[in-house]
Structure 1
Amino acid sequence: MESNQSIENNKTLKLNTKNTLYIGCAFFSILMLWQMYNNYCPLFLDYLLRKKYGESNEFIIGIIMAGDNALAIFMLPLFGSLSDKTNCKYGKRMPYIVIGMILSALFFPLIAIMFYIESLLGVIIMMAVILIIMNMYRNPAVALMPDVTPKPLRSKANGIINFVGYLGAILAGGLALFLKIAKDSSITNWEPTNKGNAILAFCIASFFMILAMLLLIFKINENKLLKENQEDIEYGEKLSETLGEVSENKPLSKADKKNFIVLLIGVLLWFMSFNAIETFNSLFCKKILGDEGIASTIVIILTISSILTFLLAANLPSKIGRKNTVLIGIAALAIGFVIILLYFFFNGVFNEEYHQLIEKNNNQLPFSVIPIYICIALCGAGWALINANSYPMMVEMSSRNNIGKYTGYYYTISMVAQTITPILVGIIMYKSESSLKLLYIYSAILMILAFLSMLFFKEKKHQKILSKKGLDALDVD
């Protein structure tokens, strides 16, 4: 301990924010593509199913849309381990990232083209092709950051990576907002009025994907970064927060194995909780609240509050520890969901007479939405705290040579959660639309269970890590 302390007194860890921003370009393209995929593809499927079979089927659409999660369960661990073992002059992650981004940019517009020519089979096939390509490089894209970042700085770096990624999601949301394929896609038998907008939106997304890839290629030399940061990375290993020693050929200690299982359970529960809201809240707002416009505002507030939290709370884990930061995030989400649920209950949203009241009120909600938006902002902040710190907690248990493997564990369990939830909630909805009233109860209970599970995670007594402060910490020369 004394030797570690003496090192700490003489060495200052610093995060190269500029390089971290460039590394985030890969995550930018991933979140942008997923957001585009989730915004447009359900509409494509809804229209083409109705055109071919006379009616749409939300359950079938849900199954098709869950295909990305099912593929990811198998592909993420595979390509994580493959990239761990890759060794070439371009690095072990960059070959997968660059090839994946090029192929994604080339094939992505074909989904919109298949919709334009009204080929249901073509849309489904191209969706599958894109999912396969994306899952080939998603794990390496995420694992690149911890590869070149010392362990104590990974939460701050992951916050920056998520910040860049969310900018991609905002871009995709803007494209969906301004390049609509129908005047009103909320009505049952809507018809596309401008299918060309879909092709334009997908081509713009591909252009930004290529731009992000070029920035990554010209600004990030993976092998050079590893060499430059080797001393800091080795120092970071000595400050690892694992309870036992971690090495490539040595199994985790009993205490760390328990932490590993606890963390996986926590990830499963909070992703099941959040994904339910993410997937079905627009339907909840339309069919239960009677105002679907609230759903888009909720997405905007969630995104903005998350981005602000990534920036403003970057140093919080270094002060109170990652576990406590994650617990605060889970608590914020659980409290937000419970307050929203109670607010709906006391304003009669779940009463049978509620929709009659809206009609009498000229289709205006009979209560203020401001408290809902405040709670959603709290939830967005909580979600950012969880995302910025839970992945670094997972790869903390990895050695420098198997980061991709542990990245695979993290994203596989999150995908399992996001596969289970749409199917579970979809089955409940299939029985009765009124069952949507249970949405926030479902999410609140799972988030509370996630909080309780993470109480069993044992973190090494928090030690303050010496790092640069203020403008010096940015290291952007």
Structure 2
Amino acid sequence: MKEFKYWKIYLLGLGFFGISVLWPLYNAYVPIFLKDFALPSFIIGFIMTIDNLFAIFMLPYMGTLSDQTRTKLGRRKPYILLGAPLGAMFFALIPFCKDSGSLALMMFVIILMNFSLALFRSPLIAFMPDITPSEKRSQANGIINFMGGLGALLAYFGGKPLYDANKAYPFIVGAVLMLLANLLVVMFIQEPEQYRAKMEKLNVIETMKKGSSELVENLKDVFASEEKSLLMMLLSIFFWFVGFNAVETFFTSYAKFHMNIGESTGALVLGVFSLVFMVFALPAGFIGARLGRKKTIRLGLTIMVVCLLVAVLMSRFLPKSTLLYLFYAIFAISGAGWALVNVNSLPMVVDMTRSEKVGGYTGLYYFFSMAANIVAPPLAGAFIDLTGYGSLFIFSIVFLVLSYTTMGFVRRGERAEE
């Protein structure tokens, strides 16, 4: 591996920046567009999970497939060059499909957009460990998450004036930013020499066969291996994403129906969480490298559990107006804890394997995190229906404690020795 340069990781982070611009715009405005077709909320909710459905089925395979790919450009870039232009084009077409009045056309474009983005997400993220030595991967993943946070903030703050001017503008601008960001990655970052084969033609069928075979091997690594560190790590990821997603999904409802404050105020509290997460993503990587990834993740989980316990206890004694100010502080501290967890988890997963399988293991990471995002909303919603909104944080605490427990059985994934 060539000499490590941090500027390359910031440049690579542009790819994640570009993707992170799209999703806030998609989640904010597509449900409104779908409502124009008089669809029930249940159907709209199902449509909005299409990205997660594509993710859990495609990301493990696409990551493994890229591991087996050899071209003059490398093994990750062909998927970026295929998926990014298609994803940008279909994303930009969404508001025009809505204006056409054709639900079938709208659904066709939404499905193709989600499919296109799933083509290159795992290869793009797996690019980071390809060019980063093991001992620098936590810091590098902190940079990647920081760049993703910048993209999301840009979408949140820039999307509104663009949407007010013309409903198509956020989609056009977002598509252009995503495409340009990923083209810069392709143009200015070289893949390691061993993955750039001098070949005239890519044997697609043979590569797909190898990818399928390797995916089976990766699943055996998870479930059939005598040493259960990988399985425990992936279960930890699943559990903490269930706990996190429950609060992310239902906190604005908690604010409105339990605290009697506006949902926009609840969204602002979540915004403080996201802002602190983005700012703390960089130091979280360095803390993980210094303290150890496992210890850092368990520290982050402890911080989040303590914060939620304080919220549960104080909500019984403090008036709602005072409690709101406490929540700003609690969610800010939790954002730092979430950075400690999230930034160091992917490096742990990819450092449980050799470089030839990094893409496949990246896909496994996304499979378990996306599966949690599918399971969490209905499971947490059912729990709230039975016990009330006041139990939201208890639900989250249970799953965060489960993840802390399963992390105790993880024995691998720390940085390799230099």
Please classify the TM superposition score into its range, dividing by the shorter chain length.
0.7 to 0.9
Partner residue of 1:23 out of 5, 12, 17: 12
**Does the 8 Å contact 2:139/2:286 carry over to 1?**
yes
Alignment of 1:52-91 (within 5 A): 52=38, 56-57=40-41, 59-91=42-74
Consecutive unaligned residues of structure 1, counting only runs of 5 or more, are 1-12, 181-193, 228-247, 349-364, 467-477
Residues 238, 368 of structure 2: 8 Å contact kept: yes
User: In the alignment, does 2:48 pair up with 1:48?
Assistant: no
Q: Which structure's residues are more often helix, by fraction?
A: 2
1: CA distance, partners of 2:412 / 2:66: 29
Given that residues 91 and 222 in structure 1 are in contact (C-alpha distance below 8 angstroms), is that contact kept between their aligned partners in structure 2? yes
- Counterpart CA distance in 1 for 2:311 and 2:382 is 24
Residue 287 of structure 2 corresponds to which residue in structure 1? 316
Aligned counterparts of 2:250 and 2:343: Cα–Cα separation in 1: 24
**Where does residue 256 of structure 2 map in the other structure?**
286
Partner Cα separation in structure 2 for residue 152 and residue 256 of structure 1:
26
- After TM superposition, the structure 1 = structure 2 runs for residues 15-414 of structure 1, keeping only pairs within 5 Å, are 15-45=4-34, 47-49=35-37, 52=38, 56-57=40-41, 59-180=42-163, 197-223=166-192, 257-289=227-259, 290-347=261-318, 366-414=321-369
Tell whether the 8 Å contact from 2:130 to 2:192 is kept in structure 1 after alignment: no
**TM-score, with length taken from structure 2:** 0.86
Q: Please report how far the alpha carbon of residue 61 of structure 1 lies from its aligned counterpart in structure 2 after TM superposition.
A: 2.7
Q: Hey, what's the Cα distance between the residues in 1 that align with 2:177 and 2:325? A: 35
Q: Is the Cα–Cα contact under 8 Å of residues 162 and 170 in structure 2 kept in the other structure?
A: yes
The superposition leaves residues 387-443 of structure 1 with CA deviations (integer Å, 9 ceiling, x where unpaired) of: 1111111011111111111111111011111111122234456x57x8333322211
Q: 1:436 aligns with which of 375, 381, 389?
A: 389
Residue by residue over 1:76-118, the C-alpha shift from the partner in whole angstroms, topping out at 9 and shown as x without a partner, is: 1111111011100011001101221111111102122223344
Is the CA contact (8 Å cut-off) linking 2:21 and 2:152 kept in structure 1?
A: yes
1:256 to 1:177, Cα distance in 2 relative to 1, 3 A: farther
Task: Report what 1:232 is aligned to.
Answer: none
Letter in 2 for 1:265: L
User: Structure 1 197/307 Cα, relative in aligned 2: closer, same or farther at 3 Å?
Assistant: same
Q: Is the 8 A contact 1:111 1:122 kept in 2?
A: no
What fraction of aligned residue pairs are identical, expressed as a percent?
34
**Is the 8 Å Cα contact of residues 305 and 400 (structure 2) preserved in structure 1?**
yes
Distance 2:318 2:104 in 1: 45
Change (3 A) 1:338 1:412: same
Q: Give the aligned partner of residue 208 of structure 2.
A: none
Matched residues, number: 395
Partner letter of residue 404 of structure 1?
G
Flag the 1:162–1:293 CA change in 2: closer, same or farther, 3 A: same
| 8 A contact 2:284–2:339 mirrored in 1 | no
| Contact 1:26–1:97 (8 Å) recurs in 2 | no
In structure 2, what is the Cα distance between the partners aligned to 1:256 and 1:166? 38
Q: Distance in 2 between matches of 1:40 and 1:281?
A: 20
**Letter aligned with residue 407 of structure 1:** T
- Partners of 2:191 and 2:308 in 1: how far apart? 42
Amino acid at match of 1:167: L
1:235 is matched with none
- Counterpart CA distance in 1 for 2:225 and 2:293 is 17
Distance in 2 separating the partners of 1:427 and 1:48: 28
Q: Which has the larger radius of gyration?
A: 1
Aligned partner letter, 1:402: K
Q: CA RMSD in A?
A: 2.8
Q: Deviations over 1:347-374 (max 9, x none)?
A: 36xxxxxxxxxxxxxxxx5325221111
